[in-house]
Every structure is written in C-alpha cells, then in structure tokens.
Structure 1
Amino acid sequence: MVKILIVSDSHGWKTELANVIDRHRDLVDHMIHCGDSELETDAKQLEGVNVVRGNCDWGNDFPEEVMLQITDNILLYTTHGHHYNVKMTYVPLSYRAEEVGARIVCFGHSHVATTFKENEVIYINPGSIRLPRNRKEQTYCLCTIETNSIDVTFYSIEGNIVEDLSNTYII
C-alpha cells in the first residue's frame, strides 16, 4: 500500500499548509503540492514535498512537472494545469498523461476539488486549502494505492472527510 498527500493552491498560507502536512507527514509515502504555494523552494513548510510551479509562483525554482514512479505499473504525473487550460477542458492534460504514460494525474489551478477516471487514468485536483471554488470546504486529499484499487479521499482543511468528493477506483 502506498499513501500520497496531495494539496494545491495554498497561495502563501504557511501555518495552514504546515498544519495539513504535519497532520499526515508520518502517515504517507509521498507528499505533493500542485502549485501556487507562493513560497520559496526552501520554505520549511515544503520540506519533503514534491512541488510544481503554478502561475502565481514567481521565478523558475520549482519544476513545471514532476513524475513519480509509484509502483511498477503506476506513474504519477503532477502539473499545476495552467499550461493545459484545465479551467476549460481536460483534453490537453489527457494528451500529456498519455504521452508520459501516467496512470494518475494530479493538478490544481482551477481550485475545484474533483477526481475522475477516464481512459484508465485517474485525475485528481485536491481543490484549494485557501480559496475553494464551487463549494465552501477548503480541501486537500489522500490517495491510497493498493493492489487492485486506488482510493481518493478528500478532507476539509480541519481534517474532516468530505464524503461526496471521495471515490474508490478499481484498477
């Protein structure tokens, strides 16, 4: 079993981001920030976190994308999403997922918490812990990968499960 913490669009919040990360740090194998942290690369809040650059992250300190080989058959791809027009469509992002061979795609930018499966690829946008859109909860999520399933559980910034966003996929 592999557990991954996924957060995005914290937009300068340090204490709140640290609280979320510290809550799960010892319980997960990987931590991902999908961009717009608006923090420096050496910020203590991001220690041990794979971070991509969002459109509000200035400079070139963070990479545009991160790929993690989670298991032999699961590559996780992370990008912020602004270069793929994710506020309008997921098609360009799906092309990139296919191009790199991703089974899981994590992205942010829209601040809309969602997960869905299309063409055997699981897409995860954890929403925003600062400025959510389309719902009131400030969210992040945990992705748990098991032999035959991938569970995506969304949480409010306070650490409560958001059931109606969460989903389990058979792989």
Structure 2
Amino acid sequence: MKALIVSDSHGLYDELHTLYARHKDEVDIFIHCGDSELSQEDEVIKPYATVQGNCDFGDDFPAESVISFDTWSIFVTHGHLFNVKSTLLNVSLKAREVGADIVCFGHSHIAGAEKIDDCLFINPGSIRLPKGSKYKTYAILEKRGKKAIVDFYTLEGDNLPDWSLKTTLS
C-alpha cells in the first residue's frame, strides 16, 4: 500500500494535477498537508485528503484528520497549530492521543522523515517554496508488512535516494 504526501503548494494547480496523474496507478491515498490555497471545489484538490493550513482561508478543509492506512493510522495536520517549526512534542502528544502510527505535516517547508519512539513523522517539504534544500519535494510512503519506506521525490519526479527512510512500525 502507498500514500503520496504533499504540502505547501501555495496556489499551484497544474503541479498537483501532474503529481496525481503521474502516480494515480501506483498510489492508494493522496494526502495534502495544507496550504494548498485552493477550495474544495477546485477539481485538482478533490483526489487529495486535505487539511487546512495557516494560509488556507475559509473553512473548506478540516484542521486535522486521521486516515486508515491498512493496519496503521495516519494523523494529518498542517502543523502550525502544534508549533512544529520549534518542536515535534506537541504533535507527538496529539498523535499518541488519537492512536496514530504516523504523522504527516507541513508548515516548515523542510522535507524530512524520522521515527521517534514508535511513531513515524513525515514532512514532505514544499513543492513551491522549499527551505533547507534546492529541491521542491513530495514524499511517497509505502507499507510492506511492518516495514515503512519513505521516499522523497523532486517535483519533476526524480527520486532522492539519499533522503529515503526505512523503518519498522508495529
């Protein structure tokens, strides 16, 4: 099972469509971690399970959501309500509260994946305004039994193998 995770597209339309078209035959779930700056009515965002970011105005999307991913649970948030630019403690407490195995978030525009205790944290970076890297990125999470594999890709679809993370979740 696979999930494509993207965040902080800040008004990009064609690029979200391109990601969907590129991966629709291999990915089971498309997740947008907020700051799409789009409306639920925009066709391009409809395939994505989307949460509200700090630059998303109105109440089109929920502030957070929990998604079933086979036997795992994914907590999705933008991150601004949990101060993720400073610490992952707040969002990790929320993940524990909702029983999540994985947290997907954005807000910082910094791509990365790490396992803390028994929880996997994934920030796909930004496909519009990356920080800490020259690459505009998104991530694909793959579940193989108890193994979690996170691969990062450039907006153009090039894999960044040095960025990948392989770990085990219960």
Query: Which TM-score bucket, shorter chain as reference?
Result: over 0.9
Q: Deviations over 1:14-57 (max 9, x none)?
A: 11121112111121111000000001111111122100000000
For residues 85-141 of structure 1, give each alpha carbon's deviation from its aligned partner in whole angstroms, at most 9, with x where no partner exists.
001111101100110010010000000000000111000000000000000000001
For the pair 1:64 / 2:42, whether they are aligned, the reply is: no
Corresponding residue number in structure 1 for 2:138: 140
1:169 has 2:154 as partner: no
In 2, Cα distance between the equivalents of 1:111 and 1:9?
Answer: 7
Q: Distance in 1 between matches of 2:146 and 2:51?
A: 28
In structure 1, the residue matched to 2:11 is 12
- 2:23 is aligned to 24
TM-score (norm 1): 0.96
1:86 equivalent in structure 2: 84
**1:77-116 map, 5 Å:** 77-116=75-114
How many angstroms apart in 1 are the aligned matches of 2:19 and 2:110? 18
Which runs of 5 or more residues in structure 2 are unaligned?
none
Aligned AA (1:38): E
1:152 equivalent among 131, 150, 153: 150
Report deviation, 1:164: 2.0
Report the aligned-residue RMSD: 0.8
**2:50 maps to 1:51:** yes
Q: CA offsets per residue over residues 48-85 of structure 1, 9 Å max, x none? A: 2100000000001100111112123x111100000000
Aligned residues: 169
